[in-house]
Amino acid sequence: MVKLNTFSITARCAQTGQLGVAVSTAVPGVGMLCPFVQAEVGAVASQSFVNPYLGIWGLEYLADGHSASETLELLKQRDQGLALRQFAIVDRHGGSAAFSGDGCDGWYGHLTGPDYAIAGNMLVGAETLNAMKDSFERSEHRPLVERLLEALQAGQNAGGDKRGKQSAAVKVYSTEQYPLVDLRVDEHTDPVPELQRVYDVARETLLPLIGMLPSKAHPQGLFNMEESRKRGLLQDH
């Protein structure tokens, strides 16, 4: 059993419909097991004594048209280890729900509101979740990925995981079946600022390329050689 004592934010952008999760914990590779996102469907974070199937099943229920709160109840009926679980859900309409089993370790809890669900366990206290909430609510006009990263940093600044810090991840989907952003810091002494640094690099060199890829609206992609050179995505040899 993998124990992810973790703090996370699961959210939707009301302006664009983008969905995403940002998360950090004191064990390696949190991005492998915690965040689950599907474009135009919803997002789920699964943590504590983690059951990845809560994320997988959750997206299936959301894809079938269930709301976040309905999905939570369905997941509660399906998992026999419920007392050890913590999970957060946001649906395509911005509905949110979260659950924290009474077998979670240390200080644990969750907060929900329109377009977000924040959860954490083995934390220094409620201040971590409150700082994430305040950060997310006051940045509504920013891109979702940047709001998630800022909320994660706010949670870390407020104390974060009681045991320390080791990994962090952010995953955001827009309209496509592939992610808009999927970045991870799997092992680092200060993973949340490092994740921000990785995003800053990706914003300049990777995200412009993502915008040119084949999409539902443009099946052949928007690749333009000259424009790519101007953006530094290609070099002449």
Say if domain 3-190 classifies as CATH 3.30.450.20. no
The pLDDT assigned to 42 comes to 98
- Reported as type and span, the H/E element at residue 85 is strand 85-91
Instruction: For the chain, count helices (H), then strands (E).
Output: 8, 11
The set of residues, in sequence order, having a beta carbon less than 8 Å from that of 173 and lying 6+ positions away, is 18, 19, 20, 37, 38, 39, 43, 179, 180
CA dist., res. 135 & res. 114, Å (int) = 14
Question: What are the tokens at 46?
Answer: 């699964």
In order of 93, 214, 226, the CA distances from 217 in angstroms are: 22, 8, 22
Ranges of the chain whose pLDDT falls below 50: 229, 231-237
Q: Where are the domains of the chain?
A: 3-190
The pLDDT assigned to 211 comes to 85
Instruction: Report how far Cα 31 is from the mean position of its chain's Cα atoms.
Output: 9
The set of residues, in sequence order, having a beta carbon less than 8 Å from that of 12 and lying 6+ positions away, is 18, 19, 20, 43, 90, 91, 92, 94, 115, 116, 144
DSSP-assigned letters across all residues of 94-110: S-EEEEE-TT--SEEEE
What backbone torsions phi and psi does residue 158 show, to the nearest 5 degrees? -85, -5
Looking up tokens 């060199």 gives 205
Nearest of 18, 19, 59, 2 to residue 10 by alpha carbon: 19
The pLDDT assigned to 3 comes to 54
Residue 164 contacts residue 7 (beta carbons within 8 Å): no
The pLDDT assigned to 105 comes to 87
What is residue 161's DSSP assignment?
A: B
